[in-house]
Amino acid sequence: MAKIKIEDGKLKVPDEVDIPFIEGDGTGPDISRAAKLVFEAAVKKAYGGRRKVNWIEALAGESAYKRTGSWLPEETLQTIKEHIVAIKGPLTTPVGGGIRSLNVALRQIFDLYACVRPVKYYSGVPSPLKHPEKVDAVVFRENTEDVYAGIEWKYDSPEARRVREFLKEEFKISLREDSGIGLKPISEFATRRLMRKAINYAIAKNRKSITIMHKGNIMKFTEGAFREWCYKTAKEEFGDKIITEAELAEGKSQDSKIVIKDRIADNMFQQILTRSDEYDIIISPNLNGDYISDALAGLVGGLGVAPGANIGDFYAIFEATHGTAPKYAGLDKVNPTSLILSGVMMFEYIGWNEVATLIESALKETFLKKIFTYDLARQIEGAKEVKCSEFAKAIVDNM
């Protein structure tokens, strides 16, 4: 059997493992081919045939629609369900009708409540910062709630009218008659499980601090509560492993404990620019997390470089953070780094750390040799511009 199993509350990964791979739309097949080349070479190099990955083709997006008539075929959902861990390229979001977003659907179906985005600088990559090497953060973004829960009504819909009437009658709150309405639910349950995941990650990876990014000064019972529940989880469940910034200020000693602090969301955007090295793990509700992840990615080379994963209690889908870049589809041109680094996260997740380390070191080496795809090459003097597949081959050569 080549399937990952859950045993005694842990993932059990066989030496020959099946992993579903959704190549995706647009440039998805280009970057997927490149990523597979790198993954397979690294597994071979690390384990010399003792371990192996079998990629299971899974369809989603426009390519799935063309072949099966469904944007997210039942077979794909069943495959992910059976295999627990999957990797995917970008998907075209269907315009008008049907599923709002395939990515959101996947997150909801498998309850992938944490969007995890590590953002790290690699020497040689262009950055707008003077000291980009100070950026080494991991964003834990809540994935299921907030204004992204999709509870909203168009301004002229009967539902919006009824909600406006309800608010007026029950709470004496008057909204303009032409107001669209959206809801922002944030629960203690979802906040606490995310914070738990972030702290466990910090402990496992030896990280120094967790910053709660919120706008609780204005949205007191949603983002303010998020902040409170994060602190509560840290104190109640990890009391001996954490210390708050306030306790440090009172003179308590850190004793290599993880520092828990919080910052107001707008301030965070200037903090990551001016004091990048003070931010390690950042935890936030959905919308803040979406913004700060991309802002951080911009500091280290952009979305073509930044990886991501959507993780639940066991289920995990690793994915490139950028879209399908359709104008470059089939040109063997775009940067496969985001998907390759998402694969690095995936190999760490299944405990194949040797593979992850090999790929990351070879990637660093490739950047240092000034070998880049067009997106980064155009920003660097003396860069050697290569195609997507050539970039992957260069990484393999540098292993």
Q: Are 60 and 22 in contact (CB under 8 A)?
A: yes
Residue 162: CB minimum distance to ligand NAP, A:
31
DSSP 3-state helix, strand, coil percentages of the chain (rounded to 5)?
A: 45, 20, 35
Spatial CA neighbour of 70 closest among 58, 80, 82:
58
Residue 79: CB minimum distance to ligand NAP, A:
18
Strands (DSSP E) along the chain, which ranges? 5-7, 10-12, 16-22, 52-57, 85-88, 114-120, 136-142, 152-153, 181-182, 209-214, 242-244, 258-264, 281-284, 307-311, 316-320, 371-372, 384-385
Residues 352-391 that bind ligand NAP (CB under 6 A): 375
Which long-range contacts link 194-198 to residues 24+ away (Cβ below 8 Å)? 194/113, 194/114, 194/140, 194/142, 194/283, 195/229, 195/230, 195/233, 195/234, 195/283, 196/233, 196/237, 197/114, 197/140, 197/311, 198/114, 198/140, 198/281, 198/283
Type of residue numbered 250: E
Stretch that binds ligand NAP, among 202-210, 211-219, 224-232, 334-342 (CB under 6 A): 334-342
Which residues, in sequence order, are bridge partners of residue 117?
139
Closer CB to ligand NAP, 145 or 290, in the complex: 290
Q: Which of 53, 87, 91, 392 binds ligand NAP (CB under 6 A)?
A: 91
User: Which residues belong to the active site?
Assistant: 148, 215, 266, 290
Q: Round to whole Å and give the CA distance between 282 and 312.
A: 18
Q: Is 90 in the site for ligand NAP (CB under 6 A)?
A: yes
Q: Which of 79, 276, 335, 342 binds ligand NAP (CB under 6 A)?
A: 335
Q: Which of 324, 342, 366, 398 binds ligand NAP (CB under 6 A)?
A: 324
Q: Is 325 in the site for ligand NAP (CB under 6 A)?
A: yes
Q: Round to whole Å and give the CA distance between 278 and 272.
A: 8
Q: Is 304 in the site for ligand NAP (CB under 6 A)?
A: yes
Residue 147: CB minimum distance to ligand NAP, A:
18
Residue in the shown chain whose Cβ atom is closest to ligand NAP: 323
Closer CB to ligand NAP, 90 or 132, in the complex: 90
Site mask for ligand NAP (CB under 6 A), range 216-255, x = bound: ----------------------------------------
Q: Round to whole Å and give the CA distance between 253 and 259.
A: 11
Report the first-to-last Cα separation within the chain, whole angstroms. 30
Is 197 in a helix, a strand, or coil? helix
Residue 392: CB minimum distance to ligand NAP, A:
12
Closer CB to ligand NAP, 105 or 399, in the complex: 105
Residue 24: CB minimum distance to ligand NAP, A:
7
Residues 18-57 that bind ligand NAP (CB under 6 A): 31
Q: Is 343 in the site for ligand NAP (CB under 6 A)?
A: no
Angle at 234 between CA 216 and CA 188, to 5 degrees: 50
Residue 350: CB minimum distance to ligand NAP, A:
21
Closer CB to ligand NAP, 145 or 375, in the complex: 375
Q: Are 46 and 356 in contact (CB under 8 A)?
A: no
- DSSP assigned state of 239: T
Q: Is 334 in the site for ligand NAP (CB under 6 A)?
A: yes
Residue 191: CB minimum distance to ligand NAP, A:
24
Q: Are 240 and 233 in contact (CB under 8 A)?
A: no
Stretch that binds ligand NAP, among 77-85, 174-182, 194-202, 316-324 (CB under 6 A): 316-324
Closer CB to ligand NAP, 361 or 379, in the complex: 379
Torsion (CA) 31, 33, 35, 40 in degrees, nearest 10: 180
Residues 161-190 that bind ligand NAP (CB under 6 A): none
Spatial CA neighbour of 339 closest among 324, 314, 319:
319
Stretch that binds ligand NAP, among 253-261, 284-292, 318-326, 363-371 (CB under 6 A): 318-326
Q: Round to whole Å and give the CA distance between 356 and 343.
A: 8
Closer CB to ligand NAP, 186 or 303, in the complex: 303
Residues 101-120 that bind ligand NAP (CB under 6 A): 103
Site of interaction with ligand NAP (CB under 6 A): 31, 90-93, 103, 303-304, 319, 322-326, 334-335, 338, 375
